[in-house]
Amino acid sequence: MAPGSPPSRNNGGPSSPYDSESSPIGNTVSTPGGPGRPKRGRRSSYDTPPQPLSGSRFATPGTTPPSSGANTRRGRGRRSSAGPTGAATPSSTDDAQPSSEAGDADEDEAPPMYVWGTNISVQDVNAAILRFLRHFRENPHQTEGKYMMAIHNVIEIEGDSLDVDAHDVFNYDSDLYLKMVRYPLEVLAIFDIVLMDMVGRIDALFEKHIQARIFNLKSSTSMRNLNPSDVEKMVSLKGMIIRCSSIIPEIRESVFRCLVCGYCCEPIVVDRGRINEPTICGKHECLSKNSMTLVHNRCRFADKQVVKLQETPDEIPEGGTPHTVSLLMHDKLVDAGKPGDRVEVTGIYRAMSVRIGQTQRTVKSIFKTYIDCLHLKKTDKSRVNAEDPMETENGVSGKDKEPVFEDKVEQLKELSRQPDIYERLTRSLAPNIWELDDVKKGLLCQLFGGSALKMLSGASFRGDINILLVGDPGTSKSQLLQYIHKLSPRGIYTSGRGSSAVGLTAYVAKDPETGETVLESGALVLSDRGICCIDEFDKMSDNARSMLHEVMEQQTVSIAKAGIIASLNARTSVLACANPIGSRYNPRLSVIDNIHLPPTLLSRFDLIYLILDKADEQTDRRLAKHIVALHFENPENSEQDVIDLPTLTAYVSYARKNIHPKLSDEAAEELTRGYVEMRRRGNFPGSSKKVITATPRQLESLIRLSEALARIRFSEWVEKNDVTEAIRLLEVAMQQSATDHSTGTIDMDLITTGVSASERMRRENLASTTRNIIMEKMQLGGPSTRLLELLEELKKLIPGEVHLNDLRNALTTLSTEGFVAVHGDSVKRV
Amino acid sequence: MVGMPHDCLANPLGAVRLTFEKAVASGYDPAVLQGKDWGTAELFRQFLFDDDCLSQVPMLSPSTLKWVQPNTLVRFRGMIQDMLGNEFYVGAYKDGDTWRTNKFADSSHSPINTSLDMQIWERRLLYCIPVPGQNFWVESLEEAVKNTHTNLISPKREKRPREDEAILGDVDMMREDGLSSEPLTTMPQTVTGGTFSNVSSVPDTEINYFSCRIKIYDTAESEMKLNDIFEFVGVLTFDPEFPVDSVDCDGFTQSICEDELVHLPSSKVSWIHCIIHRKLAVNDFLSGPALELMPNTAKDLREALVGHLTTVLGNDWVAAQYMLLHLLSRVHARVDSVAVGKLSLNLTCLGKDSMSVFGRNLKFAIECLLPFTRTLPITINYLNTISLTPKKDYNTNRLVFGFLQLTEGSHLTIDETQLQAGTLDSTGVDNARVLKNLMESQTVEYDFTYYKMEMPVDVQLLILSEGKSHILPADLVLPFRPSSVEAPLTVDEETLKAWRWYLGMMKCLSHSIDPDVQKVVEDDLVAARRADRSLGSLDFSRLLTMGRLMSISFGESHLSKEHWQMVKELETIRKERLQEI
């Protein structure tokens, strides 16, 4: 990496005048001085003056050898421009080892060199890197090594960096990996040299410098845990960018011109963060003193940027404030991230001493720390990062699991093997909301989710389960919602009352600065792959609700306005809760009337739970007990045997990520059977009326639910029991929500059209009776009859109440048939 | 610089050095132990607490700051307002063959030569301010334990109502200096209306008073939380160099070093290198444990206090009862998102006239009783302009103080009587939402621009309003019925002390319930619910909280049937009042 394109990222060194601390990479020395000295010591290279040579922190064979920290001791006659390669072997701090070995990285004849203060041999490392680059293959079938291909690729596109996956290094040569992490400055410098060398062999004309960018370390540190022992180690951190400085041009090479004779000196390279301005004109004829002046546009500059990274909220312990750390970006990394981005950074942790004053050499005893950034990975542009617990896709392959994580997985698996895991999870879900077990089971299924299915034809079936809770006030619906919201990290919690259609889906806004139109995501889009909790669903405006149709079945949000036509993914589960109309559930009315939601929307919910506050002493007593316990007992010990929240979250996320259950034949059969049974149930023996009990949507719901149930058990197969339980859940929910109060059977029509089958039967009955009456009483084209008269007739024939409205309905039906004509109050047969 | 071996007070660094040398001599290896304590804390603990020299350590305040010497021992009491992260420093270095340490100091005595062996250690930086809303008497109590050096230290507090001075003649006079007297422009009503004339101790949206930066050693991170109150004892240093530093650094240094310091006025930069710290609870601010907890003392005190509150509240005995319970409440547990134990009180029927009388008296009474109180008069304009929540300023990398950054156990009076119809802009809506959250779940969201962080708080909330407050749904709504307007009696300091002690102690009593009483309570709840289906878990919670508070107000740790009965009766009276409206 270092060999940055031009000047390389040597940033640190030169740039910071404070190198006093930064250990230059110069610290590989020939054996003699080397090993044995305590590591700390290397901060001061032995016989060099206190400030070690600034060394570029990576010795970088820079094009410009310049910074090659190597050479140059004080006298630093910048060793003229050595060729791209090797200018500086990292080594060569000392005179003994001048740039002799420039040319070739793997020179064997040189005496063994060691990384300063260690027994790591430069040659060994060199060879190890070479081996790795040449021979690493992801699988044995590949003919060419992964990185050889990558290098060719880089050459082809004239890139300037090679991304190296640290996991590959580890898998190939764990020793090299360890060295790299522990002595990144030295090893990376060697790495770059090797790389340059290889490139030079492949294409001698290739002049750019290729840096190795290491990423994906085996373990990442939390910002909070960085401590002095991490200094000069390679670390990887996650965080959020909060500030980017403006780009700082950093001088790398300067040219001076004599004011007297106009002579321009050779470019002078930054040494240890400073330029040695020539005091005397270099031309022999001139030799004027103090006449040299800087020629700005002949100097070379490199980009540099300081970025502040802050801990993400989930890493902050209670009662703490987030920590921040500075990142130093160079060249290509400049502006790679914007404030607000969540990133994963790999870099070298550095400490730098602070000078007391700008002009003084003395330093304070305090160090400022920063990370020299090697690689920056943005974790998902939108909102959530790769290890998003709600991730359902199998995107992240299992190979990069850290050991800790594997332990955890083992624990989770252990948990999943317990026979009562389903019950335990149910108990652990919102343990402080008592009762409502079936609702919790449904919510559990929602958390785990079914598998989404994408057909080749492009049709897709959602795997997300939508749930609606309808209930009396004070039945802790909102608490359940809050709880789920907390559990599901991608969840968005919104209240229907305050949400507009655009706020939920997406809207187009004008950027105040640029005037460009930009698409802003609303709650549903933001909770893509999460759960969108909508409280007070009933209070939502119709307009906003209608937007939900698309989201809940197609799982996308389409927008077409202001010149932007877009379709955004909104693969979200919706968890909504609503109060019945008139606040309290009226059992006399149908669910539709109670909820007062359009049936089209209702049918999109897989489970609709009615949480009713039944006047029941048992429940009341439990409530009382619960609250008394809440107030008088230590809440910690009052619950036993529940899985704590972090474990629960881990469990859910692991299941969603790794378990993709399929239907077993047995389960499929059971599904069919159950579905047929559900449809058949409406046919009462001896009853002619046919009640449609379930629709294909319910079948889909069943499949999703059983998949979720299998996931709960970490099972790859959906078994018969899962299906049975799914059917039971659906029935529990439906029985409450779809009971036809006049017949007592499950009636999906009630949900889908808002009219129950018995009601429809009655209407048909009415219409046909009316028709009969009209046939009997009225002549074709005869005088018209008044409605009230007809009503009288009807009442005689039909038992029970008949309202004028019913008659009107019937007549409307008849008139559409062209049987009668209705004018105001009078009816005419035509 | 060289003092007596054990003059911890004037030359603490000498003592530190001494212990360090001793420790090294006896085998302490700085290279291995990473700066772990080598016995300094022990020495100072002994000096301060066993030898009882704590009171000799000067308390850092604006006035003492003028004469305390750098590198001497000082102490500071304050709330952690912000955490500035960690700092790496050269903890120990080798001077020739001997190890020397820099711990508890800013710089070494001999210039650090980079060729030396050195150890980098880590310390934490905190930013502390005096506790927001601290009342005048708190400081004066400290003065009672006068330290030997001091001339009189003026208690620091924003301001203190003039009309009260007569009443508390025996308290040290407040210094009405420039620090506090700028009136807040955002609150015209306090200036013009004069109805609530002593609200001047309200919002400093900025902390413009004395603050202190602390460097902490050897302390687990989990031990210190934001908004905790601590007493720090340590070495005072000034940081004379840094103004130079910030003047002309090249861009690079600036952006890397640019941290909190750069943006603070130089005159304020003093650091305490903390050697010993201890967490303070509200009770530590009360005068010593003068009284013993006896059922009778508690009862007597309760009676006297209720009597006092009744007078203050214009002879409304019921309101006084509720007020007492309210003053005793605290969040004693959090289950999920429910804060158990909070009891916010909304006194309604306070018109403009009654407010001018009772509002002021009440406020003063509460100020005298509780150590940390604040008042928030809300108006449309005010809500639209103030920033209630702390906010992270990424330009300075500091957490900007917000009104609601309060320490545990603070009391907040929200005066809604001035609120008139109007339009809230987005800031206003946000602020209203923040207040509502505070009422409902006792949490405040801190704004970190890219995300919000919820911080649990424990604040007693009292709302004064004309009608039932809908913006701020309190646990208890009580129409206020004063029957007489009496000037509250002067209370002597001793009595006040006893009451403060009573409130502080009772608050912390643990509490339990006996099975038979539990049965009674449950039966009552079930019966109540059968009578009125609209009762929900919130109402039950409130009843039980009141029951708990009622019995601890008598100094008892078990809920008894009588107290339960009292609560039910109170509630009946309250319901009747509510219906009368």
Closest CA to A570 of A557, A561, A589: A557
Residue B269 pLDDT grade (very low, low, confident, very high; cuts 50, 70, 90): low
Q: How far is A488 from chain B (nearest CA, A)?
A: 15
Which of 251-280 (B) contact A at CB < 8 A? 251-253, 255-257
A55 vs A154, which has greater pLDDT? A154
- From chain B, pick out residues whose CB is under 8 angstroms from the CB of A474: 534, 536-538
- Interchain proximity A365–B333, CB inside 8 Å: no
The CA distances from residue B474 to A155, B152, B342, B343, B469, in Å, are: 69, 42, 10, 8, 8
The Cα–Cα gap between B198 and B135 comes to 13
Q: Which residue has the higher pLDDT, B150 or A480?
A: A480
Q: Does A367 touch chain B (CB under 8 A)?
A: yes
Ranking A86-95, A240-249, A470-479, B52-61 by mean pLDDT, the lowest is: A86-95
* Residue with the larger pLDDT of the pair B472 and A615: B472
Beta carbons within 8 Å of A179's beta carbon, 6+ residues apart: A115, A120, A125, A187
Q: Which residues of B touch A351 (CB under 8 A)?
A: 88, 120
As a whole number of Å, the CA-based R_g of chain A is 37
The rounded distance, in Å, linking the Cα atoms of A550 and A59 is 58
pLDDT(A499) > 80? no
**B492-520 burial code (b ≥16 CB/10 A, e <16):** ebeebbbbbbbbbbbbebebebeeebbeb
**Environment class of residue A77 by beta-carbon count within 10 Å: exposed (0-12), middle (13-18) or buried (19+)?**
exposed
Residues of B in contact with A484 (CB under 8 A): none
Nearest-CA distance A312 → chain B (Å): 9
More confident residue, B438 or B152: B438
**Given CB atoms, is A637 within the 8 Å cutoff of chain B?**
no
Highest average pLDDT, of A88-92, A613-617, B55-59, B570-574, comes from: B570-574
pLDDT score of A125: 83
CA atoms within 13 A on the CB side of B335: 22
- A357 close contact with B: CB closer than 8 A: yes
Going by their DSSP bridges, the two strands A573-578 and A531-535 should be labelled as parallel
B5 touches A at CB < 8 Å: no
- According to DSSP, the β-strands at A161-165 and B73-95 are unpaired
Answer whether A322 touches B (CB < 8 Å): yes
Among A residues 444-503, those touching chain B with beta carbons less than 8 Å apart: 473-474, 476, 479, 482-483, 486
- Could you tell me where the DSSP H helices lie in A492-634? 501-504, 523-526, 542-554, 591-595, 599-602, 617-632
pLDDT in tens, A813-824: 777 777 777 777
Give the span between the Cα atoms of B567 and B561, in whole angstroms.
Answer: 10
Which one of A358, A365, A631 has the shortest CB-CB distance to B102? A365
Classify A238 as helix, strand or coil. strand
Q: Which of residues 127-156 of B touch A (CB under 8 A)?
A: none
Kindly report, residue by residue over B161-190, the tens digit of the pLDDT: 333 333 333 333 333 333 333 333 333 333
Q: Tell me the pLDDT band of B469, cut-offs 50, 70 and 90.
A: confident
Tens digit of each residue's pLDDT (9 = 90 or more) over A635-682:
544 455 667 777 777 787 777 777 788 888 888 888 888 888 777 665
Residue B372 neighbours by CB distance under 10 Å: 24
Question: A734 is written with which tokens?
Answer: 């439906």
Most distant CA atoms of chain B, gap in Å: 87
The predicted-structure confidence for A421-469, as pLDDT tens digits, reads as follows 788 788 777 776 666 777 888 888 888 887 777 666 666 677 788 888 8
| Residue A369 C-alpha, separation from nearest chain B C-alpha, in angstroms | 8
**In the 8-state DSSP scheme, what is residue A727?**
H
Whole-number pLDDT of residue A86: 36
Instruction: Establish if B109 touches chain A: CB-CB under 8 angstroms.
Output: no
pLDDT tens column, A370-429: 888 888 887 654 333 334 433 333 333 333 344 456 677 777 777 777 777 788 788 777
Ranges A248-252, A516-520, B345-349, B418-422, most confident: B345-349
For residue A104, what pLDDT band results from cuts at 50, 70 and 90?
very low
To test the contact with chain A by mutation, choose from B83, B247, B253, B330 the residue with the greatest count of A C-beta atoms within 10 A, namely: B253
How many Cα atoms are found within 13 Å in the side-chain-facing hemisphere of A643?
24
* Range A539-565 burial, b when 16+ CB lie within 10 A, else e: ebeeebbebbebbbbebbbebeeeeee
Residue B342 pLDDT > 80: yes
The least confident of A14-23, A512-521, B571-580 is: A14-23
Q: How far is residue A771's CA from residue A820's CA, in Å, rounded to a whole number? A: 9
Question: Inter-chain contact A231–B120, Cβ cutoff 8 Å?
Answer: yes
Interface test with B, best of A232, A365, A478 (most B CBs within 10 A): A365
Question: Which residues have a Cβ under 8 Å from the Cβ of B264 and sit 6 or more positions away?
Answer: none
Q: Tell me the chain A residues in contact with residue B122 when contact means C-beta distances shorter than 8 Å.
A: 227-228
Helix (H) or strand (E) holding A185: helix A184-202
Most confidently modeled of A80-89, A437-446, A549-558, B319-328? B319-328
Contact A808, A780 (CB under 8 A): no
Cα gap A378→A116, rounded to integer Å: 35
Chain pair A-B, CB pairs under 8 angstroms: 212
* The pLDDT of residue A355: 62
The closest of B293, B291, B285 to B554, measured between CA atoms, is B293
- Chain A, 35-54: which have a CB under 8 Å from a chain B CB? 38, 40-41, 43-44, 50-51
Contact state of B108 with A231 under an 8 Å Cβ cutoff: no
Q: Are A449 and A711 in contact (CB under 8 A)?
A: yes
Residues 58-87, chain B, touching A (beta carbon < 8 A):
82-83, 85-87
Instruction: Chain A: give the shortest CA distance to residue B449, in Å.
Output: 9
CB A488 within 8 A of CB A390: yes
Helices (H), A377-513: 403-417, 421-428, 437-448, 477-487, 501-504
DSSP category for residue B154: P
Structure tokens at A384: 């959530």
Please give the backbone phi and psi of residue B542, each rounded to the nearest 5 degrees, phi first. -65, -45
- C-alpha to C-alpha distance for A645 and A637, rounded to whole angstroms: 16
Residue B328's closest CA among B204, B462, B426, B490? B462
Contact A546, A501 (CB under 8 A): yes
Chain centroid offset of residue A209 CA: 34
Residue A613: pLDDT band with limits 50, 70, 90: low
What's the mean per-residue pLDDT of chain B?
73
Give the pLDDT score at B500.
83
Using the beta-carbon criterion (under 8 Å), do B541 and A43 form an inter-chain contact?
no
Instruction: Identify the CA nearest to A260 among candidates A238, A288, A239.
Output: A288
Residue of A nearest to B391 (CA): A321
Do A365 and B119 count as a contact with CB atoms less than 8 A apart?
A: no
Residue of B nearest to A244 (CA): B255
Classify burial at A825, counting beta carbons within 10 Å of its beta carbon; exposed 0-12, middle 13-18, buried 19 or more.
exposed
Mean pLDDT within A90-117:
46
Does A15 contact B252 at a Cβ distance shorter than 8 Å?
yes
